[in-house]
Amino acid sequence: MRILILCTGNSCRSQMAHGFLQAMDSSLEVFSGGTQHAARVNARAVEVMREAGIDIASHIPTHVNVYLDQEWDYVITVCGGANESCPAFTGKVGRRLHMGFDDPSHAEGSPEFIDSEFRRVRDEIRAAFARFYRSEIQKEKFHEHTP
Protein backbone atom coordinates (compact mmCIF):
# COMPACT_ATOMS: atom_id res chain seq x y z
CA MET A 1 0.00 0.00 0.00
CA ARG A 2 1.34 3.40 -1.05
CA ILE A 3 0.61 6.50 1.02
CA LEU A 4 1.65 10.09 0.32
CA ILE A 5 1.42 12.70 3.08
CA LEU A 6 1.47 16.33 1.99
CA CYS A 7 2.10 19.60 3.78
CA THR A 8 3.28 23.00 2.63
CA GLY A 9 6.94 22.81 3.70
CA ASN A 10 7.35 19.04 4.23
CA SER A 11 9.59 19.90 7.18
CA CYS A 12 7.44 19.23 10.21
CA ARG A 13 3.86 17.84 10.29
CA SER A 14 4.08 15.67 7.17
CA GLN A 15 7.46 14.34 8.31
CA MET A 16 6.06 13.45 11.75
CA ALA A 17 3.07 11.70 10.17
CA HIS A 18 5.39 9.90 7.76
CA GLY A 19 7.54 8.69 10.66
CA PHE A 20 4.62 7.49 12.76
CA LEU A 21 2.83 5.70 9.92
CA GLN A 22 5.99 3.96 8.74
CA ALA A 23 6.73 2.88 12.33
CA MET A 24 3.21 1.45 12.68
CA ASP A 25 3.65 -0.83 9.68
CA SER A 26 6.94 -1.34 7.87
CA SER A 27 5.13 -3.00 4.94
CA LEU A 28 3.57 0.34 3.97
CA GLU A 29 5.28 2.51 1.36
CA VAL A 30 5.05 5.93 3.00
CA PHE A 31 6.29 9.12 1.38
CA SER A 32 5.88 12.79 2.21
CA GLY A 33 6.11 15.92 0.15
CA GLY A 34 5.52 19.64 0.22
CA THR A 35 3.93 22.18 -2.08
CA GLN A 36 6.77 24.59 -1.15
CA HIS A 37 9.28 22.20 0.36
CA ALA A 38 11.81 23.42 2.91
CA ALA A 39 15.56 22.94 2.71
CA ARG A 40 15.63 20.53 5.66
CA VAL A 41 13.46 18.84 8.25
CA ASN A 42 12.72 21.10 11.21
CA ALA A 43 15.25 20.38 14.00
CA ARG A 44 12.59 20.58 16.73
CA ALA A 45 10.42 18.08 14.82
CA VAL A 46 13.40 15.71 14.71
CA GLU A 47 13.93 16.24 18.44
CA VAL A 48 10.34 15.58 19.55
CA MET A 49 10.05 12.56 17.26
CA ARG A 50 13.25 11.17 18.76
CA GLU A 51 11.60 11.56 22.18
CA ALA A 52 8.77 9.37 20.82
CA GLY A 53 11.27 6.75 19.68
CA ILE A 54 11.20 7.57 15.96
CA ASP A 55 14.17 8.93 14.03
CA ILE A 56 13.27 11.21 11.13
CA ALA A 57 16.69 12.91 11.01
CA SER A 58 17.53 11.30 7.65
CA HIS A 59 14.26 12.44 6.00
CA ILE A 60 14.63 14.98 3.22
CA PRO A 61 11.88 17.45 2.26
CA THR A 62 10.68 16.69 -1.26
CA HIS A 63 8.59 18.76 -3.65
CA VAL A 64 5.19 17.23 -4.39
CA ASN A 65 5.88 17.38 -8.16
CA VAL A 66 8.17 14.34 -7.77
CA TYR A 67 5.08 12.25 -6.94
CA LEU A 68 2.48 13.61 -9.36
CA ASP A 69 2.48 10.82 -11.93
CA GLN A 70 2.65 7.94 -9.44
CA GLU A 71 -0.16 5.74 -8.16
CA TRP A 72 -1.30 6.16 -4.55
CA ASP A 73 -3.73 4.30 -2.36
CA TYR A 74 -4.00 7.39 -0.15
CA VAL A 75 -2.97 11.02 -0.51
CA ILE A 76 -3.33 12.76 2.85
CA THR A 77 -2.91 16.49 3.44
CA VAL A 78 -2.01 17.58 6.97
CA CYS A 79 -2.29 21.35 6.62
CA GLY A 80 -4.82 23.69 5.11
CA GLY A 81 -2.34 25.21 2.67
CA ALA A 82 -1.47 21.87 1.11
CA ASN A 83 -5.14 20.85 1.07
CA GLU A 84 -6.03 23.98 -0.90
CA SER A 85 -3.04 23.96 -3.23
CA CYS A 86 -2.66 20.22 -3.65
CA PRO A 87 -2.24 19.75 -7.38
CA ALA A 88 -4.35 17.42 -9.45
CA PHE A 89 -2.63 14.08 -9.65
CA THR A 90 -2.26 12.53 -13.09
CA GLY A 91 -1.74 9.10 -11.57
CA LYS A 92 -4.32 6.96 -9.83
CA VAL A 93 -5.29 8.11 -6.31
CA GLY A 94 -7.49 5.70 -4.39
CA ARG A 95 -8.57 8.09 -1.63
CA ARG A 96 -7.72 11.64 -0.77
CA LEU A 97 -8.06 12.69 2.87
CA HIS A 98 -7.40 15.81 4.88
CA MET A 99 -6.30 15.75 8.52
CA GLY A 100 -5.38 19.27 9.59
CA PHE A 101 -2.92 20.10 12.37
CA ASP A 102 -1.55 23.38 13.72
CA ASP A 103 1.92 24.28 12.48
CA PRO A 104 4.19 24.20 15.54
CA SER A 105 6.95 25.97 13.63
CA HIS A 106 4.78 29.12 13.82
CA ALA A 107 4.61 28.99 17.64
CA GLU A 108 5.97 32.05 19.39
CA GLY A 109 7.08 32.45 22.97
CA SER A 110 9.57 30.89 25.31
CA PRO A 111 11.61 27.87 24.18
CA GLU A 112 9.61 25.79 26.67
CA PHE A 113 6.30 26.91 25.16
CA ILE A 114 7.53 26.25 21.61
CA ASP A 115 8.73 22.78 22.63
CA SER A 116 5.36 22.10 24.24
CA GLU A 117 3.61 23.07 21.01
CA PHE A 118 5.80 20.67 19.01
CA ARG A 119 4.99 17.90 21.49
CA ARG A 120 1.27 18.70 21.43
CA VAL A 121 1.12 18.60 17.63
CA ARG A 122 3.29 15.46 17.56
CA ASP A 123 0.91 13.72 19.94
CA GLU A 124 -2.14 14.84 17.93
CA ILE A 125 -0.55 13.51 14.74
CA ARG A 126 0.34 10.21 16.42
CA ALA A 127 -3.24 9.77 17.69
CA ALA A 128 -4.88 10.75 14.38
CA PHE A 129 -2.66 8.48 12.29
CA ALA A 130 -3.14 5.59 14.74
CA ARG A 131 -6.93 6.00 14.26
CA PHE A 132 -6.44 6.22 10.49
CA TYR A 133 -4.28 3.08 10.53
CA ARG A 134 -6.82 1.10 12.58
CA SER A 135 -9.90 2.28 10.71
CA GLU A 136 -8.56 2.33 7.13
CA ILE A 137 -5.33 0.41 6.63
CA GLN A 138 -5.99 -2.58 8.86
CA LYS A 139 -9.52 -2.86 7.46
CA GLU A 140 -8.19 -2.87 3.87
CA LYS A 141 -5.48 -5.36 4.69
CA PHE A 142 -8.07 -7.65 6.28
CA HIS A 143 -10.28 -7.48 3.18
CA GLU A 144 -7.30 -8.22 0.91
CA HIS A 145 -6.64 -11.47 2.78
CA THR A 146 -10.27 -12.55 3.19
CA PRO A 147 -11.53 -14.94 0.50
What is residue 49's predicted lDDT score, i.e. its pLDDT? 98
Q: Is 12 a catalytic residue?
A: no
Q: How far apart are CA 31 and CA 14, in angstroms?
A: 9
Taking the CA atoms of the chain, what radius of gyration do you get in angstroms?
Answer: 15
User: Catalytic: which of 41, 75, 79, 121?
Assistant: 79
User: Catalytic: which of 7, 45, 75, 137?
Assistant: 7
Q: How far apart are CA 31 and CA 73, in angstroms?
A: 12
pLDDT tens string 54-85: 999 999 999 988 998 899 999 998 986 545 55
Domain boundaries, the chain: 2-144
What is residue 24's predicted lDDT score, i.e. its pLDDT? 96
Q: How far apart are CA 97 and CA 99, in angstroms?
A: 7
What is residue 92's predicted lDDT score, i.e. its pLDDT? 80
What is residue 79's predicted lDDT score, i.e. its pLDDT? 84
Q: Which of 69, 59, 6 is nearest to 35 (CA)?
A: 6
CATH class of 2-144: alpha beta
| % of the chain surpassing 70 pLDDT | 87
CB 72 within 8 A of CB 3: yes
The whole-chain average pLDDT of the chain stands at 89
User: Catalytic: which of 52, 86, 97, 114?
Assistant: 86
Residue 105: DSSP 8-state? G
Choose between 109 and 37: higher pLDDT.
109
pLDDT tens string 30-56: 999 988 889 999 999 999 999 999 999
Crossing angle of helices 111-132 and 43-51, rounded to 10°: 60
